[in-house]
Amino acid sequence: MNGAARFVNGFRTGRVLLLAFLVVGTLIAWSTVTLGFIRFYRTEGTILKFTNCAVPNPLVTPCFYGALAFLIALVWAAYLASHGTSIGRGYERLWWLLLASTIFGWSNVAYEFWTWSQSPTRTIVSCSAQPLSSPWQSPCLYGSTMFLGAWLSVDRIVRARRRHHD
């Protein structure tokens, strides 16, 4: 396979994988946040209460900020994909957002595992403010996996672009 064909194949595969990881991650994150809002509203009767709450307001949970990052990354990646290979440094900038999101997500997962290991009851309140008996059940774990997959996919795109331009 010649250089141009390898570039197109690597670029296309990376772009499809990137969008797939971001769509799945966005669905996981926003469904979790939506359920959090429903649970919070049923408990508190409002979504604007932030202190003295029976459960944390979803607006102050790491899950909400991860969901925002997923949505931003998905819109950004879709924009880049719609412009083919003509986007200059857009994928390189997206690489940085996804790296930061991956670090943020896995930091939350590590914290959940640490909290769980310290808990005498082996229960935790996850990043989505939902009680869990194991961090393996955490939406944060699945979202972090999607961020990692998206970051590796955009890395593939960036590397393909660099090889093609060298």
Q: pLDDT digits over 121-161, tens only?
A: 988 888 777 788 888 999 999 999 999 999 999 998 888 88
Within 7-163, strands assigned E span 124-125, 131-132
Cβ distance 95 to 151 under 8 Å? yes
Per residue in 17-50, pLDDT (tens digit) is 999 999 999 999 999 999 999 999 999 999 999 9
Q: How far apart are CA 124 and CA 135, in angstroms?
A: 8
Domain count across the chain: 1
Tell me whether residue 5 is exposed, middle or buried, using C-beta atoms within 10 angstroms of its C-beta: 0 to 12, 13 to 18, 19 or more.
exposed
DSSP secondary structure code for residue 119 in this structure:
-
Percentage of the chain beyond pLDDT 90 is 64
- Tokens for 164, please give them: 């093609």
Cβ distance 129 to 135 under 8 Å? no
Nearest CA among 50, 65, 45 for reference residue 144: 65
40-63: average pLDDT: 91
Domain range enclosing 111:
3-165
Residue 48: HSE in the Cβ half-sphere, 13 Å Cα cutoff: 0
In this prediction the pTM is 0.87
